[in-house]
Amino acid sequence: MNVRGAFLVVRAVLPGMIQRRRGTIVLTASTSGLVGEPGLAAYDASKAALVNLTRQLAAEYSPLGIRVNCVCPGRINTGFNDPVLASQSDAAVDAMVQSAVPMRRQGKAEEIAAAVAFLASGDASYVTGHALVVDGGLTAV
Q: In what order do the strands lie in the sheet with 131-134?
A: 23-28, 66-73, 131-134
Q: Please, what is the Cα angle at 138 between 26 and 83, to 5 degrees?
A: 80
Of 125, 44, 33, the C-alpha closest to 71 is 33
Catalytic, 126? Answer: no
Cβ proximity of 71 and 29 under 8 Å: yes
Q: CA of 28: how far to CAs of 38, 94, 102, 126, in Å?
A: 21, 25, 22, 19
Which position among 3, 40, 43, 139 bears the catalytic label?
43
Q: Known catalytic residues?
A: 43
